[in-house]
Structure 1
């Protein structure tokens, strides 16, 4: 899965309701260690968590726009910021920590992207997330972006097959079971 899909999927649904992996400092710390370990081990503050959640909501708003005319994720469609505000936040955040291509030569030449200037890890984290979102939404995968329509699911996914309607087999099974139950109730 892409970093951007992982980021927007930090909100998911379970039987108990919506789960937000970034609901506290410990959650963001754990998520960062898993998805951006190369930034090093740094202290996540409540302010950084709030800014990261605000960025996630902006990216989710852009995802909601990208899947139109399909409906957006039911997780937070009514609480997403406006499109223009979201676009401005994502672009400004991506600019916050400029990067530059660098050549590394460890036996073979390799292209790496490095910070163009020294910034704190929190700024680099948010800039990386925003840049990944920009690249995803401007790239060819955006055309494959869909909202899972299974009951209780709130995830976005990439449609890998022409007949794919759900993010996972489990969601497909849940949707078919719900449809079967609904049809049986009519009888």
Structure 2
């Protein structure tokens, strides 16, 4: 099974890229599963999304914990299934950057050991300004981390914790980004 992860800030284009990769492999006849977290088909995912739409430290913690449980449930359900050729996760381990400093680094290291990794893990690095510009065009309620201060902080923390990820400049158009990702998947 090929395991592909697309992660990054809100507005980086994670779901767009995951969907493009999904369609490419599906059109080639592969059995592909795409999981976007927090997912709406699990109780954990719904609780995470609900907390993201609120404010305060308790909801901040709830959003992160339920998100983690949602990802773990997807790993347990889909990883290493014989009938799946390609497994794509949109959003994976980088939610830990929303935890307080030091704790986020420790939790990330634990998560990176406990959960599967791949050579096909992509961090879509978008500037906070571009992220906000893209988010303003969506017809969705604003989540607690979708403001300039939170995006700057999350981007800096992300770049400090990730290692062995493919960092992709996501300030470009989606098709250019997708071509770069596809080239790296093939190499």
TM-score (norm 1): 0.28
Between 1 and 2, higher relative CO (CA 8 Å, sep ≥ 6) is seen in 2
TM-score (norm 2): 0.28
